[in-house]
Amino acid sequence: MRFVRVKSDGAACRPDCPEWISAEGKIVAGSADALARVIAKLGDRRLPILINSPGGSVRDAMAMGRLIRAKRLAVAIAHTEIAPCPASARQCPERFGAAQAWGAYCASACVLALAGGVERYVSPLAFVGVHQLTEVVRKTRVQRAYAVRYLEFAGLKIELSRTLVRERRSTTTTRRAADKGVDDSVEGYLEAMGVRDPVMKLTLATSSRDVRWLTAEELAASRLATIWVDDASPIADDAGANGLRGQPIDAASGAAAVFVAKRSAPVASPIDGRPTELALSFAYRRGGGAALATVTAEGAAASPPARVVLTLYPEGATFRAAAAAGEPARVGIPLRSLCRLKRDGRVVVGFGEPGPRPVVDDGSTARRGEASAAFDLATAGAKPLFDEACPRDALARR
């Protein structure tokens, strides 16, 4: 399996286009380690995994799934077209590309890697299939011929030297049904990942020489799919939090996958001569690589200007958002910056260029500087958002 970090080549999103990890090909011994190396290079960033695979090693597929779940990543079934990197190439540098759900597939052991996603994106144009698990046994026979020199002395034969003159290797490969221990291990793994029947039932009932392609109803009932991809590609240049697009399979799962923290504060100086209150919200979808910040005007007829600047303290990072007249201003916030707000952070929303750090009297209203409003997110109401977006192991590294 080949892993490549890819950025969308869409013209409309440049320079901040969605990124993902492309996983293409057969899962073999070592694939899980290769994925771990790619993810390690991302640091605190999270990118979705777009997988297209016929399956392969059960052991490595489960290891991949466990790693994906531990890192809280989303998985989508899609083929990635990387230019100029042919599908036959064993390696590619980081590239621009496009993702297509049409004709993409995830079969056999690949399903185990898909199950690891905290959100699992599947298109009606893609295929997910199962069959009985098998084990591949390879035996290699080695025949060697040596030239040996001896010394015979007093009835004894003493070897003086040995030189290899010929070596022949022959390998036989046999495929056999996995034993009950493997089936039990896979069944326990799927249960731990929240995947229900009929996946395991159909796996056991389908010959290893066939593939049982799952229907939309079976994908939904088993929760092997949690989000339907409602377009030709699972990647949307304007999708916000993680670049993935789709519709939750049911309202309950969709609501449970989105975490929002919202605060309101008055603007220190009137806008257009009128007092204005701003509402700031951070939304995060499970498995995403960023949070989406939204600024709207409340309690006054005035709308925030078209250019809004968010400054996150104590980091001091600034993020600029543009909005059409009367529309909310939205901007993506990297998780690294968001998570630093959990401990002792504040967000100042201003207009134009960011000013100096404000003096705050009550934790919500800036006393000096340009027209701005200050927000403190480090409160109990934002705990679900931080718990999902900022796992403890990631916070421990900061």
Using the structure block, give the residue that is written with the tokens 């799919």.
225
Digit-coded pLDDT (tens) for 9-27 = 776 666 667 889 999 999 9
Of 95-99, 121-125, 177-181, 348-352, the poorest mean pLDDT is in: 177-181
Amino acid at 133: L
Residue pair 4/92 in contact (Cβ under 8 Å)? The answer is yes
Question: Which whole number is the average pLDDT over 285-296?
Answer: 84
Bond into 356 cis (ω within 30) = no
Using the structure block, give the residue that is written with the tokens 């934790």.
363
- CATH architecture of residue range(s) 2-132+178-248: Alpha-Beta Complex (3.90)
> How far is 323 from 296, CA to CA, in rounded Å?
10
Region of residue 229 (phi > 0: left; psi between -120 and 50: alpha; otherwise: beta): beta
SS3 of 292-314: EEEEEEECCCCCCCCEEEEEEEC
pLDDT for res 200: 94
pLDDT for res 364: 36
Over pLDDT 90: what percentage of the chain? 38
Is the model's pLDDT at 391 over the cut of 70? yes
Question: Which among 305, 286, 297, 291 has a CA at the least distance from the CA of 345?
Answer: 291
Question: Which among 108, 100, 6 has a CA at the least distance from the CA of 48?
Answer: 6
Domain with CATH 3.90.226.10 in the chain: 2-132+178-248
pLDDT for res 20: 93
- Model confidence at 393, in pLDDT bands (50, 70, 90)? very low
Question: Which among 189, 145, 187, 137 has a CA at the least distance from the CA of 167?
Answer: 145
pLDDT for res 300: 52
pLDDT for res 398: 27
The mean pLDDT value of the chain amounts to: 82
Higher model confidence: residue 346 or residue 345? 346
Q: Where are the alpha helices (DSSP H) in the chain?
A: 31-40, 58-70, 110-115, 180-192, 199-205, 216-222, 251-256, 335-339, 341-344, 383-389, 392-396
Question: Which whole number is the average pLDDT over 355-362?
Answer: 42
